A and B are shown apart, each in its own frame.
Chain A
Amino acid sequence: MSTVTSQPEVPAGVKLPLYMDNHATTQMDPRVLEAMIPFFTNKFGNAASRNHSFGWEAEQAVDVAREQIAKLIGATAKEIIFTSGATESNNLAIKGIAEMYRERGNHIITQVTEHKAVLDTCKRMEKQGYRVTYLPVNADGLIELEDLKRAMDDKTILVTIMFANNEIGVIQPMAEIGKLCRERGVIFHTDAVQAVGKVPIDVNALNIDVLSLTAHKIYGPKGVGALYVRRRNPRVQIAAQIDGGGHERGMRSGTLNVPGIVGLGKACELAREEMQSETERLTAMRDRLKNKLESNLDFVHINGSMKHRLPGNLNMSFVHVEGESLLMGINDIAVSSGSACTSATLEPSYVLKALGLGDDVAHSSIRFGLGRFNTTAEVDYVADKVIDVVQKLRELSPLYEMAKEGIDLTKVQWQAH
């Protein structure tokens, strides 16, 4: 048996370790950093200082960023509220809307594959007397509109459905959800962290009322995000969750993180300018990776819809190989796994389980997240290495051997421990 950790030849231009986990975070674009630097040093003013040039300079930079962000999602600058990131944006949206519209109703609708920042916030709302419906998803990872229709009642005040999923990259039917919410007079919030800057978004065309986004997923800095809050048709109100100086139209107090905001604005501008070419490039690379893996390995499974999916996402299960052992074999490549062994809770990915996949398939899953700084040479290296390690681990796998012998693994009496 040769060694499992594989050493394929490293092609020219591929530097190790190699990052392909761009749903977790992204490398900051040097152009973003360049825009930010002055605001750490000589342009250090407080954007809320109204009576001197230091403050004006900061405020002006913040206004530019607001425009850049608004333009990316078809909003107006005044509708952008700055936060510390998407977790705060999601908390502010859900808690702030629930509190503000308590008189009108107490029912919130979400779905099972949301990020924990939404799910855990909804769970807290349940403890506070709100009713929450968690819609299921189909095998593709998408909600059924009929389920949403059925779940809505006269007490429904908020629908919060993510734009694109962070694990499987699937894009929910936003236009249809938005239309339904508008018809019923229900506020529509979306956690669009993975979708902003990756796919075209127009909050008016899609009838989105509130939208969470963050900088570090789009080659900007960590610790800064925004919440889009619709100002007209209809005007959405949000109860502040942080008390203080009344910044951001009273919705989010706290001195603005000016360098971070400048970075977020620049990141949005670049994402908008380069979206079309990036989409083509990433889709081609993702499909190349998928085709290489599929044509060289048996028992592979694509998790989630390929049709409704972010360009840079591939989530694949290498059945009969456990995810963490696979990550160990490709330890110079940064990707993620839905395996229980890689999670703090020792539970396999709840997103993959929600698709109706067995735990065994979830344990075998790898999420590839391609981004702006990945190259085709890197894709080829990753494909070769994954193929090599999967093959070696399958030589070690009793399940693969049994499956090859034609044994139906679901009929085996396992001794669960």
Chain B
Amino acid sequence: MAYSEKVIEHYNNPRNVGQMDKSSTEVGTGLVGAPECGDVMRLQIKVNPLTRVIEDAKFKTFGCGSAIASSSLATEWVKGKTVDEALEIKNTDIVKELSLPPVKIHCSVLAEDAIRAAIGDWKKKNVVGGEQVSASAAVAAN
């Protein structure tokens, strides 16, 4: 399997490897995939409660080079975006950026799933009575 230069580059120098405190309300964690399928991604985002901007992102991935590269790229892309902007990232964008061959498209799907799962987790933590906590309400509650 010949990898694109970008996949090799991310594999050799993965961005934003690590973990953040899962219990923090500012942190959303997405754990997707399964060991028996050969890939598991954990993507975490730290969201500013006032601006809803993703200020930091971390990942760890068990998987092939393309899976590692896809998640590494995903952390780079979500950083600085608002939660809603990050939800716009499509797996096809990752395929294009990394020139993934057809057999590796599932790696990009997993990365998109990881972003959505992390945002979903963050939203769940920050919902009160079915309503999204607004910035002002959150401040007022303090």
Q: Is B41 an interface residue (CB 8 A)?
A: yes
Interface check B109, CB cutoff 8 A: yes
Q: Which of B36, B67, B103 is within 8 Å of A346, CB to CB?
A: B103
Please state if A414 and B103 are interface contacts (CB–CB under 8 Å).
no
Interface of B is mostly: mixed
Inside 8 A of A409's CB, which chain B residues have their CB?
Answer: 35
Query: A128 contacts the other chain (Cβ, under 8 Å)?
Result: no
Q: Does B4 contact A (CB under 8 A)?
A: no
Nearest chain A CB to B104's CB is how many angstroms away? Answer: 8
* A417 and B68 contact, CB distance less than 8 A: no
Binds B, one of A16-24, A141-149, A199-207, A318-326: A318-326
Which residues of chain B have C-beta atoms less than 8 A from A346's C-beta?
A: 103
For chain A, which range describes its interface: under 10, 10 to 19, 20 to 34, or 35 or more residues? 20 to 34
- A356 contacts the other chain (CB 8 A): no
Residues of B with C-beta under 8 A to A321:
62
Q: Is A112 an interface residue (CB 8 A)?
A: no
How far is B34's CA from A360's CA once the two chains are assembled, in angstroms?
Answer: 9
The answer to whether B38 and A322 touch across the interface, beta carbons within 8 angstroms, is: yes
User: Smallest CB–CB gap between B100 and chain A, Å?
Assistant: 12
B113 at the binding interface (Cβ < 8 Å): yes
Supposing A328-B3, A417-B113 touch, asked if A396 and B17 sit within 8 A by C-beta, the answer is: yes
Digit string of A337-366 for contact with B (CB within 8 Å is 1, else 0)?
A: 001111000101000000000111001000
Enumerate B21-58 residues with CB–CB distance to A below 8 Å.
31-42
A175 to B60 alpha-carbon distance, docked (Å) = 50
**Structural contact, A415 and B38, CB atoms closer than 8 A:** no
Determine whether A243 belongs to the interface, using a CB cutoff of 8 Å to chain B.
no
Contact between A415 and B62, CB atoms less than 8 A apart:
no
Closest beta carbon of chain B to A342's beta carbon, Å:
8
Return the contact of A325 from the options B11, B33, B34, B103 (Cβ within 8 A).
B11
Nearest CB of B to A137, in Å: 20
CB neighbours (8 Å) of B39 from chain A are: 322
Q: List 22 A-B contacts (CB under 8 A).
A: A4-B11, A4-B14, A5-B11, A322-B39, A324-B65, A325-B64, A328-B8, A328-B65, A341-B38, A341-B64, A359-B35, A359-B37, A363-B36, A396-B60, A397-B60, A398-B40, A398-B41, A401-B60, A414-B35, A415-B31, A415-B32, A415-B117
* Residues of chain A whose beta carbon lies under 8 Å from any beta carbon of chain B: 1, 3-5, 320-322, 324-325, 328-329, 339-342, 346, 348, 358-360, 363, 395-401, 409, 414-417
